Structure 1
Amino acid sequence: MNVHFEEIRLNLPHIELAAHLYGPEDGQPVLALHGWLDNAMSFARLAPKLDGLRIVALDLAGHGLSGYRPAGASYQLWDYALDALLVAEQLGWQRFSLLGHSLGAIVSMLLAAALPERVARLALIDGLLPLTHEPELAPPKLGEALNAQLAQAGKRRPVYASVERAVEARLRGGYPLSREAAELLASRGLAPQAGSYTWRTDPRLTLPSPLRLTPAQAEAFARALRCPVSLVLAEEGLPVQRAEWLALIESLPIALHRLPGGHHLHLDDEAGASAVADCFKALFAAP
């Protein structure tokens, strides 16, 4: 497929981020945040179908062509939220909307709940609530994360003899996605290395989280949302963490859409991207 976008760089005080820019200069401002280990190409099918929007699809820190966080820094949800807010500041967007997939949807929700005066709309794909754990699990989970950080120095990056091998590896890992979706993500996510290829993503992104919110804290964020929210859930996508989460979502003033397809339904094929776009058009057309 042919992908038409403008490549831009954003120099934040602490990191440089790369992004794809779509839409007219006077369009509604939208920041698009992709999922874990993906990149800005995640929105290559969807963004062109959302007319009238000025979409900045970021490579999140440590992903795609964006920079890594310095040694000793972390990739926590709130770190990504600050990055997004600083990007909006640099663009001069006092009020803006968020389009998020998976991890990007979770970060978008947290940012919108924390600063409701800044976020006009939320368009979310197969993601809303962060992974949580009960308070008594916090000490052992922190210990697990600290030990993983100590062991990280001895690990090597995976290396692939060809782009095709890397695509095959991506197809075997995580949630299923189409070959074309994997190829699109690989086109931005791979770097040549001595005649072979490796992923550009920071290896620290695979480390376990040192701290997670409790279920009560996650629910408090969801209930703090004040902007219109449209949530697409894929029938074969991320499982809802607990039955209570789905009950919570259905109790909130969220426009909930259930669509056939997998976790990357907005990228897997044109039909899925069109279906997701149709769900979001009403959200962005509202006054």
Structure 2
Amino acid sequence: MSVSSHEVRFSLPSLEVAAKVWGNPDGLPVIGLHGWLDNAATFDRIAPLLNDVHLVALDLPGHGLSGHMPAAGYSLWQQAATVLQVAENLGWKRFALLGHSMGAIISGVLAGSLPERIMGACLIDGLLPFTSEAEDAPKQMARFFAASLALESKRKPVYDSVDKAIQARAKGSNTDISNEAVKILVERGLMPDNGGWTWRTDPQLMLPSPMRFTSNHAVAFIEAITSPTCLVLANQGVMHKHPQVLDRIERFQNIELHQLDGGHHLHLEEPASEVATIFDSFFRKLT
């Protein structure tokens, strides 16, 4: 695939969605979905290494250069619906998915719900969402209400240089991530503000979810996937911090599993070429 990319915009009914595009329009149609608080640049290192793929990597709503959703607009299913709207805009009745973290979870929701439309999915260090059981729902909703009211009084931080924003992003990450990887993401995630720089990200993305899948819900989506699926897990990533989740993932018979050394953003760091090689081979089987 060409090293260079170009920008596109999708004018959807409720908002505009931005994307980076790589590859030949005649290649395998693939929609790329980044992780929480990241953006389409998350695929900058592996996209040029994928052959015969037409990759449209989205800035999901509330992220990067895309528009923001109305209040409480960032559930997994609402984000998944946005992906389908983009696919309709492209005229893609069938397509593959490339997802990292939250984007991998959204990919699982789509593949489990609409197997007739998803040709296959490549996932990076993500599969099952955070879950809670039905009896926890009132407390979860209460947390959402309290955080929503408190959000009105909060202001986004303003940094006097891009370097300080990079340092803050690296320090504030819940996962280990190199400064080089952060630089790739920050370039698309900042905007000028009062002589400095602040995040484009919608502050609502920091709110706790009002509702979560139960564990049975989450597993049901993954077990409903019938299209080929390839999952790369990072040995020092998110899943390995939750052994019970890792154990469950290893039991899914419908998923081709690879485990590589690296952190949660391993596709933006040293193992990127290994990740790309695995996915390139997988995508070739779909064509």
Instruction: Tell me the TM-score normalized by structure 1.
Output: 0.96
Summarize deviations over 1:71-98 as a string: whole Å, max 9, x none.
Answer: x341110011000000000000000000
Residue equivalent to 2:254: 253
Deviation of 1:244 after TM superposition, in Å, equals: 4.0
**Equivalences, count:** 283
Deviation of 1:194 after TM superposition, in Å, equals: 1.6
Residue equivalent to 2:211: 211
Deviation of 1:17 after TM superposition, in Å, equals: 0.4
Deviation of 1:268 after TM superposition, in Å, equals: 2.0
Distance in 1, matches of 2:15 and 2:102, equals 20
Describe the SS at the equivalent of 1:10. strand
Distance in 2, matches of 1:99 and 1:85, equals 14
Distance in 1, matches of 2:138 and 2:194, equals 42
Counterpart code for 1:282: S
Describe the SS at the equivalent of 2:239. coil
Residue equivalent to 1:81: 80
Deviation of 1:203 after TM superposition, in Å, equals: 0.5
Describe the SS at the equivalent of 1:262. coil
Summarize deviations over 1:40-93 as a string: whole Å, max 9, x none.
Answer: 1100001111110000000000000000113x3411100110000000000000
Counterpart code for 1:194: N
Residue equivalent to 1:144: 143
Alignment of 1:160-171 (within 5 A): 160-171=159-170
Alignment of 1:112-127 (within 5 A): 112-127=111-126
Q: Is the 8 A contact 1:32 1:98 kept in 2?
A: yes
Counterpart code for 2:168: A
Deviation of 1:178 after TM superposition, in Å, equals: 1.2
Q: Is the 8 A contact 2:104 2:123 kept in 1?
A: yes
Deviation of 1:160 after TM superposition, in Å, equals: 0.7
Deviation of 1:109 after TM superposition, in Å, equals: 0.4
Alignment of 1:183-202 (within 5 A): 183-202=183-202
Instruction: Tell me the TM-score normalized by structure 2.
Output: 0.96
Counterpart code for 1:18: A
Residue equivalent to 1:265: 266
Could you tell me which runs of 5 or more consecutive residues in structure 1 were left unpaired when the two chains were aligned: none
Q: Is the 8 A contact 1:131 1:241 kept in 2?
A: no
Residue equivalent to 1:154: 153
Deviation of 1:169 after TM superposition, in Å, equals: 0.4
Could you tell me which runs of 5 or more consecutive residues in structure 2 were left unpaired when the two chains were aligned: none
Distance in 1, matches of 2:95 and 2:131, equals 28
Q: 1:141 to 1:240 in 2, by over 3 A?
A: farther
- Provide the alpha-carbon RMSD of the alignment: 1.4
**Identical amino acids, percent of aligned pairs:** 51
Distance in 1, matches of 2:148 and 2:269, equals 34
